[in-house]
Amino acid sequence: MLQILLLALIVSFTTGLLLIRYAHLHARFSSDGDVTGVQKFHATPVPRIGGLPIMLGLVAGCALSGFLNTTGWVLLLLLSALPAFAAGFIEDLTKKVGPLPRLLATFIAAGLGYFLIHAGLWRLDLPFLDRLLQHYWLISLLLTMVAVGGVAHAVNIIDGYNGLSGMVAVFIFLAIAYVCFKVHDIVLMSVCFAMVGAILGFLFWNFPRGLIFAGDGGAYLIGFMIAELSVLLVARNTAVSPWFPLLCVIYPVFETIFSIYRRKFLQGRAVGYPDALHLHQMVYKRMVLWMVGSKEARHLTQRNSMTSPYLWVLASFSVVPAMLFWSNTWVLMLLVLLFVLAYLRLYRMIVRFKTPRWMVLRRDDSSR
């Protein structure tokens, strides 16, 4: 596992280094030059093709896993991931691929996984639904496509600050790897370690300096792999509750559901209308008050990066309990509900300016 992690990390790290070093050669296509949008929080144009180092690191790690474990299905897993990554990566280069085509691409990727490597949802530990899923493969396929595509899109939504979605994903992959270890699913665990290595190699350049962004290609790839490995873990190991992966990803998933509700019913806007009201953006604006008002690039970058640890802690409140109760469906269901209530409570406190003082990072002018 260490060999796989290190190989993926080295390949990702090196690719990221080369992309940053020679950014002038591809900046015309790869840089995110829009620094004024409602969801933009960087000060200068930055390459947004960090998905490429992650993908190459994953390919290297999976190739080594396939060689060491003498199995070829991990290569089929990579083939399944290709549509999700490609749609996002093309958007990073052209800025012309909308959210719907990217979402449809993840549905296609999930469908490929369903047929190529039997990555399907056949049980939710809810008797009536389980009977439907087991007797009607089309329902299982549709549910799998929606679930995988939804998680991939959710990870893209929280990809707003340096290190945020990347480190949350590392937490989730380590949790999945832990459960793989408990049920002796070594090959699946090796893919988790390949993803961890690939993301860490990218994060070296992304956090805290923000020298490169994951972009839609990276976010959709990470989200797809989280969802696909979760589906495979549950499908291959009956001891694992299907609510384990749901609790692991409840932060980005509920962030997405709440955003849809907020835009549609509270604001009366289209679901896809961009705004700056996601939880991570509210934390940035009302809790991370360090050097507020400064327009210096280094201050903006530092404040951006200071936001992510708040959400890392929030994500850990779901991932750690999921690891502890990975086989207990009823406890996991209760923990999902508790997390949702805690999220809503936190969001309400921030909106109403009632955040506890100890949670607020105050302005500091001493370094000016």
36-62 per-position pLDDT tens digit:
554 455 557 899 999 999 999 999 999
Q: Is 334 part of a structural domain of the chain?
A: yes
Residue whose tokens read 């960090």: 50
Residue 365 located in a structural domain: no
What is the pLDDT at residue 223? 97
For residue 247, pLDDT over 70 is answered with yes
Cis peptide before 245 (omega within 30 of 0): no
- The residue segments making up the domain with residue 25 are 2-359
Task: Give domain status of residue 302, yes or no.
Answer: yes
Residue 306 lies in a domain: yes
Centre a 10 Å sphere on the Cβ of residue 233 and count the other Cβ atoms it contains.
24
Least confident of 81-85, 191-195, 207-211: 207-211
Q: Does 294 reside within a domain?
A: yes
Residue with tokens 């958007």: 91
Binding residues for Mg(2+): 156, 216
Q: What is the pTM of this model?
A: 0.93
In this structure, which long-range contacts are made by residues 268-275, counting pairs with CB atoms below 8 Å and at least 24 apart in sequence?
272/99, 272/100, 274/37, 274/38, 274/39, 275/38, 275/39
- Could you tell me whether strands 31-32 and 46-47 are parallel, antiparallel, or unpaired per DSSP bridges? antiparallel
Q: Is residue 366 part of a domain?
A: no
* 3-class secondary structure, 276: coil
From residue 179, alpha-carbon distances to 215, 290, 313, 319 in Å are: 29, 39, 21, 12
Domain-located, residue 367: no
Q: Which residues contact 238 (CB under 8 A, 6 or more apart)?
A: none
Handedness of CA 298, 304, 310, 311 (dihedral sign): negative
Q: What is the pLDDT of residues 338-368, one digit of tens each?
A: 999 999 999 999 999 998 888 898 876 544 4
Q: Which two tokens stand for residue 128?
A: 């009536």
Domains identified in the chain, total number: 1
Per-residue model confidence as pLDDT tens digits over 149-189? 999 999 999 998 999 999 999 999 999 999 999 999 999 99
Residue list, annotated binding site: 156, 216
What is residue 366's predicted lDDT score, i.e. its pLDDT?
47
6 within domain boundaries: yes
